[in-house]
Chain A
């Protein structure tokens, strides 16, 4: 975890620095006693910078509860990458395809990714999830879900 802690600390220091840089350009408030829009973000940014610096120092010195633990970002990057890709694609297509169709293909693909090879079960479950959740939320609870391609039917 030592390297991971140092990289994490650096990222958070950069984030804090960005916040301080941005808030420096915020206008002063009309009220003389109001510390202004930059007050709280600047405080939070300094807090993050100070704590992140402490994390880096402690990691370099080999101190800390988890510094000796191994760090693995992901045991299966390909699987995770495809899964994340499916998630993103689902969100992109949600309004265009509509909730039901988008959910059916997504569930099928997701189950396939997770090693399910019972195709009939996968198809039935996918259709069931798509229609079932739509009925519960859109028809029973009155939530508005995108109809997409089925706009004329639903």
Chain B
């Protein structure tokens, strides 16, 4: 049987199983809530739900976990748009334009585009997984530490797109992020760096509390200091679906970002948090209205949302074909499969094709369910921001603390979130953008580990960085930086005569 016919057969099995469909609907709703709550990530959601699937048959448990995975990644955009707080790291780039849109009374428009882009992106990822899995995993298989180091450099080149008014300040913020990611045990020989004797710092700062602090706690502090800010945001929801004009305007970006997300997803270690920034950077670079990015451009919501959901399909490729997790969630999913007595990898394709195609079918249905549940629930999600600021601020702060604490049940993470909240507040006051810090925190360890690994493996030679894949990535990085700078200078020249 061909791939397509096996996939269609699995789809038919799932669609004629009402119990499974009901469980998936519930899982999608739970996933959206988990993703929308700041601090609760898709990884945590899948990990929390995995125990519930122990006693279930595979045909119910696996689709449930996949439904949570897909929808939790989308759910992160809700709090990113409504509260300026990315519910998951994957939604970090959505904040940049989603929140300004909500502030200007276009929350409904941003949310409906987020749902559409997430669904289309997710389906692109799944389609790629079904059609191109073997070829794409072969490309990723050829990547060595030199290529991974270059991917990190490529990722860091996106800073030019997210630095706001001052590129210099953006790079300083990235430098701060690179310094912060050095805290903890040295990844190669375990030497403690800047740990000050604290065991809590041996593994460095956890990403989620840092993210919560920089984006959410700092926002709480800004809300508290400004009494005039304590007002409702006008967020009328005129429609549940994106207007045709928005769809036309964004579809190109959605498809392109879906492909970017799928490709990044299939590279182990490069997850949705990187994909969303890469897609955002590319959308900003190629958009006609790049000046509007960061101020509430609808494309700035569509691109990262499409990319981060497409990562799901991409990340499943190395997981299923090689047994290598593409991102932290797929690492948890590997555990869930092993609990069921299955070992992901080439043998899974050979011996358990039914499971592989069940996964494909479940991901397609999960994405469609996500669109239905999220669209129907939009009015409820928008109501979140109609709560008075004096009630919302303590709720956000408490959720931040719960999210930080429940990650490892460690009060240190609570202090980390608070500390980074103060840092984020101060940085915003001196107009230093916080997003480059996050980007550097994600990419820094990847760059260091792979660069040093490459040097050790090649007797201290930097020559592997001249491999064809590295050169392509380097060329893409240079192109990204130069084209963005050119566009910025062009728009400045345009606006200066007036």
Residues of A within 8 A of B (CB): 1, 4-5, 8, 12, 15-16, 19, 22-23, 26-27, 29-37, 39-41, 43-45, 47-48, 51-52, 54-55, 58, 64-66, 69, 71-76, 79-80, 83-84, 87-88, 90-91, 94-95, 99, 103, 106-107, 110-111, 113-116, 125-126, 129, 133, 137, 141-146
Contacts and interface: CB of A to CB of B under 8 A. Distances in A.
Contacts of B406: 137, 143-145
19 contacts: A19-B194, A33-B456, A33-B459, A35-B452, A37-B186, A40-B178, A41-B179, A48-B176, A66-B431, A69-B431, A75-B225, A84-B221, A87-B397, A94-B405, A95-B411, A107-B398, A114-B390, A115-B227, A137-B406
Task: Indicate the member of B175, B176, B194, B455 with the most A CB atoms within 10 Å.
Answer: B175
A66 B393 contact: no
A76 B222 CA distance: 10
Contact of A31 (B34, B444, B456): B456
B16 to A, nearest CB: 31
Please indicate which of the listed interface residues B168, B191, B194 has the most CB atoms of chain A within 10 Å of its own CB.
Answer: B168
Interface of B: 34, 40, 48, 51, 165-166, 168-169, 171-172, 175-176, 178-179, 182, 186, 188-189, 191, 193-194, 217, 220-221, 223-227, 230, 388-391, 393-395, 397-399, 401-402, 405-406, 409, 411, 414-415, 418, 421-422, 429-432, 444, 447-448, 451-452, 455-456, 458-460
Contact of B402 (A55, A111, A143): A143
B460 A32 contact: yes
Given A40-B444, A111-B394, 15 more contacts: A4-B429, A19-B179, A31-B456, A32-B460, A35-B452, A37-B193, A87-B221, A90-B397, A107-B394, A107-B398, A110-B393, A111-B391, A113-B224, A129-B394, A141-B48
B410 to A, nearest CB: 10
A72 B428 CA distance: 11
Contact of B178 (A47, A64, A66): A47
Contact of A80 (B48, B175, B224, B451): B224
A144 B429 CA distance: 35
